[in-house]
Chain A
Amino acid sequence: MFSSFLQERTRREVLQLSAAGVFTAGMSGWMRVLADKVATTPATKGKHKSCILLWMDGGPSHKDTFDLKPDSKGAGEFKPIKTSADGIQISEHLPKVAEVMKHGVLVRGMSTPEGAHGRAKYYAHTGFREGQGGVTYPSLGAIVSQQLGKPEATVPNYVAIAGRSFGSGFLGPKHQPLMVQAPDKGLEDLKALVSNTQFDKRVDLLKQMEEAFHREYKVDPVNDHKTTYDRAVTLMQSKEAKAFDITQEAAATRAKYGSGKFADGVVMARRLVEVGVPFVEVALGGWDTHLDNFTRVKSLSQQVDAALSSLILDLKDRGLLDSTLVVWMGEFGRTPNINTRGAKPGRDHFPRAWNLAMFGGGLKGGQVVGKTDKEGAEVVERKTTAQDFLATVCDLLGIDHTKENITPNGRPIKLVDKPNPFTKLVV
């Protein structure tokens, strides 16, 4: 009774708001359920915040990236180097990132319960164990889209580039990521199949048909359909759509980021943030280095080094670094010991202790949160869970993570469940 009452009531309220022109976007069933939440979301204080998540798919080795242990048993081949932040050392294969380290915070005490890729990715993205309580949970991107995104925005509020991200779960299709598979080719299906003139004619025809149909059937799906098509056509013809076209970027700028899908994706992410997209995720795969860890991590680090450092500097140049949180992370770390099963040394999955890096977004840079032991095997200071981390990200973006969403069957779910954020340590 309670849940259905809530749904019916908010639906009506939303319709009233809609009629009053408050909402220009269509209200889906999902938004109906969440309407009271959306309606009461206060405008973000100050500047509009954004987040770029650089997702290191496969689980990057912490001991070979941001938490080197040169004196440990499984130290590996890489040497630590100094960074622009006092007392912080990172891998020698991240020299340009070292230069921007003063803008960043390292979290070296990550410790999570999931050791299989699929479940670990889900957990890191949502803060919930997969399958827990029979609910499909929204990923961070969907939460940001819901909380910070403008319903009427030309570009969708959550874009995922060069990989598969986790979706919006019970928040529904409106907060699903817009996927870009090949960033050098732009957004799929963004261009009309026919000339612009002919496309305009087609859209006019469609509009006439819609008007006639709507005169006979005054039902919500017709309105919602119209709204969605309006937004899609607007996007096609908008200047914001150009953000998806990285060929418009100067060749020299693109070159700074490196080459390949990831580099192109990071360029696109920056362009999207510049037009106001609140959440962009870019994936770099290949970190599952059971075999040949060092050759592969070196080459991956070089890709990260160029793209991440250029991103930070470009955001800074554009005055966007303070309002854009950049996160570098994967689903877990890798074993402190080196396996010698194969021809070349490797490292295996290790969720018990791992690291991630954050830049910009109003952080007080040049700090480290948490600490692992000598081997990089146990967290000895400030153990940080996925919930702690996600809540901190929410804090930094100006999202109240204690808020609850209501699932379609009327169940309240906190944005982040029982976290202990470390926000105070880093701002």
Chain B
Amino acid sequence: MRRNSFLILTFLAGTALFSVSEIGVSAQVPNAKKALKQLAKAQAEAKKAEDAKKAQADAKKAEEAKRTTAAKKKSDSDDELAPLKPALIGGKKDTTAVAKFIDDQIAAKLAAEKMTASPTCTDEEFLRRTYVDISGVIPTAEQAKAFLADKTPGKRAKLIDDLLASPNFGQHQADIWMGLLVQRTSDSRRVDFGSLRTWLAEEFNANKSWDVIATDIVTATGEQEKNPAVGFYLSNNTVDKMTDELCKSFLGVQLQCAQCHDHKFNDWKQTEYWAMAQFFMKVQVAGLGKDAKPTVDEKPVVRRNKMNALPESAKMVEPKFLQGPSPSIGLKDPARPTLAKWMTGPTNPFFARAMVNRVWGELFGRGIVNPVDDMVGQNLPSHPEMLTGLAADFAANAFDVKHLVRSVCNSSAYQRSSKSTAGNEKAGPQLYATMAVKVLSPEQLFDSLAVVTKFDAKAGGPAARDKMVKGFAPAARDRFVNFFLAGAEMVSLTEYEAGIPQALKLMNSRQTAGGNPQAVRAVVGSSRGAEAIEKIYLATLSRFPTDAEKARLGEYVSKASLSQDGLADVLWAVLNSSEFTLNR
């Protein structure tokens, strides 16, 4: 199927390009602060000029790709992704049309498997889910109450818009991308990456186009003080790490195994790896030591000292784009701009798909291709046409991340209950018959605990989250996150992985346990009895307690010698419950 459509797509790619980039440019000025607006405008103009060139280059490239493919056809080319053909679904940024497209695609597969979908989720489920997924933190009791009381039709779509507009959206994306872009190694242990986090949050909040953000990261040069985006290279400070992380984060492919040998399960050859790695050969990282200025440069000749050493497996080959042509780059010219241009080109087979798949994965707990960063080879997408369609729409809408999130969240698939219904208990997760139950990430858990208990000053200030919005990541949050990550490479979205030490901390740590009088005061104020229990439930689980819960807990509290103690017990139990730590 994919192979059949390949030639047609290649043929169309060149002509489709130009109009698409026009749309991209006009769509690019975001509703943001003035400064950001100007910046975006400048970049948009620069991009316009670039796009014109790109179109030419891409047309040539498409030609070449066609030839390469023809040549490759003899060998099995199942692993090759077709170039993307950007195409709007419905009109420009047509949320409704995209949501419907998703639902049609998913319904078709459910029907084929004769599987029923679970009903639409309740407002309570929807509320907590969207808050956690979009803004990275649960709602306050007041926010929860207000939404649940609201009888206006279309309030769900409005909440999605509100959350996308809140600064927490960028913070949450920054958390996700910091996890991908920054690896703590012994080399970079002295570097402060806080500025990269702040920058990412601002970019996402300003809804900077994803191709612009990615280009800024991939081509980042200069002192960290002046350009926070160089943080990517400061953390991935050798050619192999740059190659690995670029491929994983921006292209959604795991190339790293091919560093030392041909890949066993995929088609990656060692030469393909080192052909991609060539684009980083001129990058020189400096100033990772104590009292030094971290800097990234691209130079014709790199001093191969300890810091910029090449791995033993390094091979010197012609630079070549992954499954693409070999560009010609002057000996003295920087190579990364050429790479970025190829990567973010609207027809790039990986770039838009990778981001769509990653965003989908964050929202649904699994990618359309799963794992999300292993998109090529025999790891097939559950809904190939949906992935390609969403990627095409994403590219045609100038890689508008908020549009993508908004569209997915407005789909019925996203707004499905996470409870199984009669007949679909055994549906595989790739059918999306029910919403996945996800586990709060360490960042989401910390921020949610902070919202409830208003941590004391020592633990990061009374309003840890507010400060973080201003670009301040309190040390307490980092410590907490590291403790929960416990050095792991990545967190699973759908598996509960915390161990005994983490459970002990949540139950018994003065900072986070929350079963103390201050936390109770912060949650219930002067309320007592049923009213207090209701406040606890709204503040933590974003729902009203059921009648049974009200009765049982009311009795429990009334039996306690001090009602404060009884309420503290309830708050403690709720904060340690799986319902709190899960996103259903």
Cβ–Cβ < 8 Å partners of B569 in chain A:
198, 201-202, 205
| Distance (whole angstroms) from the CB of A194 to the closest CB of chain B | 7
CA distance A231 to B498 in the complex (A): 12
| Distance (whole angstroms) from the CB of A152 to the closest CB of chain B | 12
CA distance A410 to B374 in the complex (A): 10
**Interface 1/0s, chain B 504-516, versus A by CB < 8 A?**
1101111001011
Residue B58 CB within 8 A of the other chain: no
Minimal Cβ-Cβ distance residue in B for A223:
B496
Residue B256 CB within 8 A of the other chain: yes
Residue A58 CB within 8 A of the other chain: no
For B497, give its contact among A29, A205, A236 (CB under 8 Å). Answer: A29
CA distance A282 to B410 in the complex (A): 53
Residue B584 CB within 8 A of the other chain: yes
Cβ–Cβ < 8 Å partners of A131 in chain B:
185, 238, 240-241
Residue A380 CB within 8 A of the other chain: no
Cβ–Cβ < 8 Å partners of B379 in chain A:
1, 3-4
Cβ–Cβ < 8 Å partners of B257 in chain A:
133-134, 411
- A232 and B500 form a contact (CB under 8 A): yes
Cβ–Cβ < 8 Å partners of A226 in chain B:
578
Residue B577 CB within 8 A of the other chain: yes
CA distance A232 to B556 in the complex (A): 24
- B499 and A217 form a contact (CB under 8 A): no
- A221 and B439 form a contact (CB under 8 A): yes
Cβ–Cβ < 8 Å partners of A29 in chain B:
492, 494-495, 497
**Which residues between 97 and 134 of chain A lie within 8 Å of chain B, taking CB atoms?**
116-119, 121-122, 130-134
CA distance A222 to B437 in the complex (A): 9
**Interface 1/0s, chain A 177-206, versus B by CB < 8 A?**
011000000011111111000100110011
Interface size on B, residues (CB 8 A): 76
Given A176-B487, A408-B490, decide whether A222 and B419 contact each other with a Cβ distance below 8 A.
Answer: no
CA distance A173 to B498 in the complex (A): 7
| Distance (whole angstroms) from the CB of A125 to the closest CB of chain B | 12
Residue A228 CB within 8 A of the other chain: yes
**Which residues between 527 and 566 of chain B lie within 8 Å of chain A, taking CB atoms?**
549, 552-553, 556, 565
Interface residues on A, range: 35 or more
- B513 and A193 form a contact (CB under 8 A): yes
- B489 and A119 form a contact (CB under 8 A): no
Segment among A164-172, A254-262, A359-367, A382-390 that sits at the interface with chain B: A164-172
Chain A binding surface, main DSSP class: helix
Residue A220 CB within 8 A of the other chain: yes
Residue B97 CB within 8 A of the other chain: no
For B437, give its contact among A1, A3, A130, A221 (CB under 8 Å). Answer: A221
Residue A30 CB within 8 A of the other chain: yes
- A190 and B499 form a contact (CB under 8 A): no
Minimal Cβ-Cβ distance residue in B for A231:
B500
Given A116-B306, A213-B579, A409-B371, decide whether A219 and B437 contact each other with a Cβ distance below 8 A.
Answer: yes
CA distance A115 to B377 in the complex (A): 39
- A232 and B265 form a contact (CB under 8 A): no
- A1 and B265 form a contact (CB under 8 A): yes
CA distance A328 to B378 in the complex (A): 47
- A28 and B497 form a contact (CB under 8 A): yes
**Interface 1/0s, chain B 257-281, versus A by CB < 8 A?**
1011000110000000000000000
- B579 and A168 form a contact (CB under 8 A): no
Given A173-B498, A179-B501, decide whether A217 and B419 contact each other with a Cβ distance below 8 A.
Answer: yes
- A189 and B509 form a contact (CB under 8 A): yes
For A168, give its contact among B486, B503, B509 (CB under 8 Å). Answer: B486
Residue B158 CB within 8 A of the other chain: no
- A130 and B570 form a contact (CB under 8 A): no
Cβ–Cβ < 8 Å partners of B244 in chain A:
134
Residue A156 CB within 8 A of the other chain: yes
Q: Which of B245, B552, B556, B579 has the most CB atoms of chain A within a 10 A radius of its CB?
A: B579
**Which residues between 227 and 251 of chain B lie within 8 Å of chain A, taking CB atoms?**
238, 240-241, 244-245, 248
Question: Which A residues are within 8 Å of any B CB, using their own CB?
Answer: 1-4, 26, 28-30, 32, 116-119, 121-122, 130-136, 156, 166-170, 172-174, 176, 178-179, 187-194, 198, 201-202, 205-206, 208-210, 212-214, 216-222, 224-226, 228-229, 231-233, 235-236, 408-411
23 CB contacts below 8 A, A to B, read A1-B379, A4-B370, A28-B492, A28-B495, A28-B497, A32-B495, A131-B240, A133-B260, A166-B487, A172-B488, A189-B501, A192-B507, A193-B513, A205-B572, A208-B552, A209-B573, A217-B584, A220-B495, A220-B496, A225-B496, A228-B498, A229-B576, A409-B374
Interface contacts beyond A190-B508, A208-B552, A209-B573: sample of 6 additional A-B pairs, CB < 8 Å, sorted by A: A3-B379, A176-B488, A192-B507, A217-B418, A228-B499, A228-B500
